[in-house]
Amino acid sequence: MIEPFGSLVAPFVEFGFMRRALAGCLALSVSAPPVGVFLTLRRMSLMSDAMSHAILPGAAAGFLVAGLSLPAMTLGGLVAGLAVALLAGAVTRTTVVREDANLAAFYLISLAGGVLLVSLRGSQIDLMHFLFGSVLALDDAALWLLGGISTLTLVALAVIYRPLVMECVDPLFLRTVSRSGGPVHLAFLALVVVNLVGGFQALGTLLAVGLMLLPAVAARFWARDLGGLIPVSIVIAALSSVSGLSLSYRFDLPSGPAIVLAAGALYLASMLAGPRDGLLRRLVRSRHLAA
Amino acid sequence: MSAGLRRPDPIRLVGLTLGYDRHPAIHHLDGTVRAGDLLALVGPNGAGKSTLLKGMVGEIRCLDGRIERAGPIAYMPQADEIDRSFPLSVMDLAGMGLWRRDGAWRSLGRRRRLIEAALAAVGLDGFEARPIGTLSGGQFRRALFARLILQDCPVLLLDEPFTGIDARTVDDLLALLRTWHAEGRTVVAALHDLGQVRDHFPTTLLLAREPVAWGPTGRVLTPENLARARNLSEAWDDSAPICAGPHASGAPAHDHGGHGVDAHHHHEDAA
């Protein structure tokens, strides 16, 4: 039993950059999955995908101004993502077009702008950095950023938890008892953006969504209520981070995709073996209860 | 009842036009919901009952005229407007009724007894931990009524509260309405069952996009009024001209020459 455990731990014991990568990924594993749980429950899973693309032009603009500078690219990504989220939210609240359609419109504009910006000045290598991240090269600033995002997300979710749940279940009721519906919705969108920006540091824009959504979807096969879904999704994300990183080290794979593939494998395993509506559970039809 | 003793009218409608995309779903409605009213909203599909309730609660903006509200209003939507797939327990759903009192952060644990009492009052004792997705239509309705009880609001608007509910549940919930009425609360409910309205609701507003009659139920639900309500067009005319009626001045209801409707809104005092 010691040998596989040892090979799982060894790279983290041996190399500082692996420990940094692990710390960064674990920080993200604590904050992104709870946001993903709310996204899936609101049937907005694909919204995070759209948002991850919307971040690109901002990060690209930061890159054009300051080169491969973490603060500039993060700030740019935040501004672009929040702008798209707020614009889509505002347009949705004032017109009849639904939010998903508005998001699609704005993110396409944003993404096209981003690709244009990157290709104007950058090389292929820069583009790969945007898309697949650099989890094995996290410096102090990046770790602080990920830790800060994680802390902010958990505090913010605790503060808006009840109105956010009500906004999902019965937004009309929330509007009749409180004015918090609009601000809470926007705060939630901001959390999505902030976590995607954090994820884009570690995993790249394309895969940032993976750590947000896959654990959240997988958790649906293990838990029924929010009190179970959120912790389960965090555990699954943390497991994906650890196993993805050590696999990427062992077999010399790119670490971002390895982490998301690990999360994907855990999702498939949950779908098969999860106690709540997992496929195996369905095959073995359990006797029904008396009442 | 002398004017001096009367509580302020909770809802006043002044030249009210509500609708979607400039097409009126409610047209030039004047009237007052008085404190303590038990008012039934009756009319064919598309008559504007839900629209009026949503307007009263402030959910849709007035195209013309205004709604004057005094104090908080509790609103129960049609059941299909709530996402029942969300993993929320019956306890948590009903407990949200305490929002005005406890806000977004205070623990509901201290209110457990209160919430359990409200659930027991609607016959849902023992359902506290059940996810709302596992409830039947009638049980979910009861849970919404428990939330209303906890809201403890002087004015309650109910949109088709008894649709798709079995007779026993309806009887229980009607008893609850009578209790609220006896406590002096104002209750407005959109309903389809005319027998129910005649038996339990002293006042009725008969709507067919325009007010047909508003007053004591016996005088509103006459065969002539009902026939007229049925005949009013449900059509949505894209090329309709801009309405030439009075605009938001609180002017007395006018006669729409071409509509063939008696626009004197029969608003009689129920008392």
Average pLDDT of span A215-232? 93
Q: Which residue of B has its CA nearest to A164?
A: B104
Q: pLDDT class for B166, splitting at 50, 70, 90?
A: confident
Q: In A, which residues are within 8 Å of B89 by CB distance?
A: 225
Average pLDDT along chain B: 82
> What is the per-residue pLDDT for B266?
45
What residue type is A219 in one-letter code? A
Q: Could you give the CA distance from residue B143 to residue B132 in angstroms, rounded to a whole number?
A: 9
* ipTM, two decimals: 0.78
Q: How confident is the model at residue A276 (pLDDT cuts 50, 70, 90)?
A: confident
Section B37-56 average pLDDT: 90
- Candidates A41, A162, A226; nearest CB to B104: A162
| Separation of alpha carbons A149 and A194, rounded Å | 7
Question: Within an 8 Å CB–CB cutoff, is residue A94 touching chain B?
Answer: no
Quick one: residue A91, left, alpha or beta (phi over 0 = left, psi -120 to 50 = alpha)?
alpha
**Are B104 and A170 a contacting pair at CB < 8 A?**
no
| Contact call for B86 and A159, based on CB within 8 A | no
- State chain A's mean pLDDT as an integer: 84
Predicted local confidence at residue A82, as pLDDT: 87
Given CA atoms B39, B44, B50, B52 in this order, what sign does their dihedral have? negative
Residues B81, B50 contacting (CB under 8 angstroms):
no
What region does B64 belong to: left with phi over 0, alpha with psi -120 to 50, or beta? beta
* Most distant pair of Cα atoms in chain A: their distance: 69
**Facing residues of B205 across strands?**
B41, B214
Residue with tokens 């009638």: B138
- Amino acid at site A226: L
Place of tokens 């913010």: A156
d(CA A72, CA A60): 9
* Residue B68: pLDDT over 60: yes
Q: Which domains does chain B have, with CATH numbers?
A: 1-72+155-271 (3.40.50.300), 81-152 (no CATH)
Stretch (H or E) spanning A208: helix A205-219
Cross-chain residue pair B75–A168, CB shorter than 8 Å: no
What is the structure's pLDDT at B249? 45
Rounded Cα distance, B152 and A116, in Å: 58
Tokens of A212: 């947000």
φ, ψ for residue B214, nearest 5 deg: -145, 120
- Across the A:B interface, residue pairs with CB atoms under 8 Å apart total 61
B104 with A180: Cβ contact below 8 A: yes
Query: Which residue, among A173, A230, A277, would best test binding to B if mutated, counting the most B CBs under 10 Å from its CB?
Result: A173
Distance CA B223, CA A32 (A): 62
A28 in reach of chain B (CB within 8 A):
no
Minimum distance, in Å, between the CA of residue B49 and any CA atom of chain A: 17
pLDDT of A1 higher than 90: no
